[in-house]
């Protein structure tokens, strides 16, 4: 009889614990068998892929999205400041270019005749001589058709005007007695500056010279002017065989009609003519410095500057524009130098009235 084959494993018998409830043991075993595959499956799952954080999108500097009210106000304020700086820079360069051209027309002799104001325009009263020439810029021997002194007084807050009659008799060294309009023909700007200093007693700190073409250009540059005409001028003779009429009341003048208004003299005298010239100058001032014209003021100013010759620099012209916008002009601050007509050697002159003229000059220079 053959021997039984020896098995390669051992067999064990499971025995429950003594006294244990077999049904409870089997229930626990089933729970263990059910839980084991779930644990194995859970461990077999790959780890979750980490989600990468999306970087916040950077807002463009010009974008207004997502700004608070304070941020929006700050952004708008910054843009406004930038616009003002660009406007001021471009406007200054326009004025500087125009002033450089205008400065070329003032000779060294005329500059030497000007008085030193001992201060700046914004803080010191200064007299600015405005000469209207009856000729073109390239013409020699032209006469002074308009002689007007404008005084800026920042402390008093006023601008004053004193017109000098074109037929006022003055004495020029080496020439003799001439009309002040002829002083311009003989000695140019220097002759008028010295005649006013010697005969009227007023120092001149700056000068502006404008010819007839310049007057028309200046008025057209601001889109015309309006004046309250106190004189009734009807069918007045005008150079070139024309006849002009300017009724009393409100007038709208373009460049050509403004020139006629300040030049015509056949219907009245030098005193009325000087007052008409003052009205046009004041109307120009108001138009240039009005709030509605502020955005284009530097470029309008540049056109006006190119229509004249002046010793004022671009900075000084900008200061003068500021003063004209800030200072007031009262009708009583517009005057014409007092004088009496006289016929001397067959020529008509206006002789200065010392008593009245002295009082006028005192008021003109007074800050009260």
pLDDT at 74: 78
On whether the CB atoms of residues 361 and 200 are closer than 8 A, the answer is yes
Per residue in 32-85, pLDDT (tens digit) is 666 555 555 555 566 667 766 666 666 665 566 666 777 777 777 888 888 889
pLDDT at 212: 77
Q: Which residue, chain included where needed, has tokens 């004041």?
A: 282
In this structure, of 2-16, 132-146, 346-360, the range with the lowest mean pLDDT score is: 2-16
* Cα–Cα distance, 162 to 320 (Å, whole number): 18
pLDDT at 26: 66
pLDDT at 169: 94
SS3 for 120-177 is CCCCCCEEEEEEEECCCCCCCCCCEEEEEEEEEECCCCEEEEEECCCCEEEEECCCEE
Neighbours of 70 (CB within 10 A): 8
* Cα–Cα distance, 266 to 238 (Å, whole number): 8
**H/E element, 4:** none
Q: Which residue, chain included where needed, has tokens 């409830």?
A: 21
Per-residue pLDDT averaged across 188-202, rounded? 93
pLDDT at 253: 94
On whether the CB atoms of residues 165 and 127 are closer than 8 A, the answer is no
- pLDDT at residue 92 greater than cutoff 80: yes
pLDDT at 143: 75
- Chain Cα centroid distance, residue 82: 16
Tokens of 250: 């409100």
pLDDT at 55: 62
- pLDDT at residue 111 greater than cutoff 90: yes
**H/E element, 342:** strand 339-344
pLDDT at 87: 86
Q: HSE (CB half, 13 Å, CA atoms) of 311?
A: 22
On whether the CB atoms of residues 261 and 251 are closer than 8 A, the answer is yes
- Chain Cα centroid distance, residue 357: 37
- Rounded to 10°, the helix 314-326/297-306 angle is 120
For the chain, give percent helix, strand, coil, nearest 5.
Answer: 45, 20, 35
Nearest one of 213, 219, 204, 212 to 106, comparing CA atoms: 204
pLDDT at 194: 94
What rounded mean pLDDT belongs to the chain? 82
Give the single-character DSSP code of 327.
S
DSSP 218-251: HHHHTT-EEEEE-S-EEEEEETTTEEEEE-SEEE
Q: Which residue, chain included where needed, has tokens 């006629």?
A: 260
pLDDT at 45: 60
At 206, the pLDDT band (50, 70, 90 cuts) reads very high
Q: Which residue, chain included where needed, has tokens 């008021």?
A: 363
pLDDT at 103: 94
Per residue in 236-282, pLDDT (tens digit) is 988 878 899 999 999 999 999 999 998 888 788 778 888 898 899 88
On whether the CB atoms of residues 135 and 211 are closer than 8 A, the answer is yes
Domains in the chain (CATH in brackets) are 86-228+271-365 (3.40.630.190)
Per-residue pLDDT averaged across 123-144, rounded? 75
Q: Which residue, chain included where needed, has tokens 């005969």?
A: 199
If you count them, how many residues does the chain have?
A: 368
User: Bridge-partner residues for 150, per DSSP?
Assistant: 128, 161
* Cα–Cα distance, 300 to 287 (Å, whole number): 10
pLDDT at 138: 40
């Amino acid at each position: 009889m053959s021997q039984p084959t020896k098995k390669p494993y051992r067999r064990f018998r499971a025995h429950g614990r003594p006294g244990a409830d077999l049904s409870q043991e089997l229930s626990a075993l089933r729970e263990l068998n059910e839980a084991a595959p779930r644990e194995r499956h859970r461990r077999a799952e790959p780890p979750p892929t980490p989600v990468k954080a999306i970087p916040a999108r950077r807002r463009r500097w010009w974008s207004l999205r997502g700004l608070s009210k304070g941020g929006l106000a700050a952004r708008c304020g910054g843009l406004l400041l930038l616009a003002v700086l660009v406007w001021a820079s471009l406007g200054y360069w326009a004025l500087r270019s125009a002033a450089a051209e205008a400065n070329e027309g003032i000779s060294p002799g005329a500059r030497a005749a000007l008085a030193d104001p001992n201060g700046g325009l914004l803080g010191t009263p200064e007299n600015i001589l405005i000469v209207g020439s009856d000729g073109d810029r390239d013409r020699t021997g032209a006469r002074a058709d308009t002689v007007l002194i404008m005084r800026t007084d920042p402390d008093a807050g006023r601008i004053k005007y004193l017109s000098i009659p074109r037929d006022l008799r003055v004495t020029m060294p080496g020439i003799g007695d001439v009309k002040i309009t002829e002083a311009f023909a003989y000695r140019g700007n220097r002759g008028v500056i010295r005649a006013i200093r010697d005969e009227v007693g007023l120092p001149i700190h700056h000068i502006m010279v404008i010819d007839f073409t310049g007057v028309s250009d200046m008025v057209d540059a601001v889109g015309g002017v309006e004046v309250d005409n106190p004189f009734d001028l009807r069918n007045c003779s005008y150079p070139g065989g024309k006849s002009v009429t300017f009724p009393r009341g409100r007038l709208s003048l373009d460049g050509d009609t403004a020139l006629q208004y300040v030049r015509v003299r056949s219907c009245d005298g030098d005193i009325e003519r000087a007052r008409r010239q003052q009205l046009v100058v004041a109307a120009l001032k108001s138009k240039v410095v009005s709030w509605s014209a502020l955005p284009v003021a530097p470029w309008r100013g540049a056109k006006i500057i190119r229509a004249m010759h002046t010793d004022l620099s671009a900075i000084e012209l900008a200061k003068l524009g500021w003063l004209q916008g800030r200072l007031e002009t009262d009708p009583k601050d517009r005057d014409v130098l007092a004088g009496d007509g006289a016929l001397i050697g067959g020529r008509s002159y206006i002789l200065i009235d010392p008593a009245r003229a002295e009082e006028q000059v005192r008021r003109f220079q007074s800050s009260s």
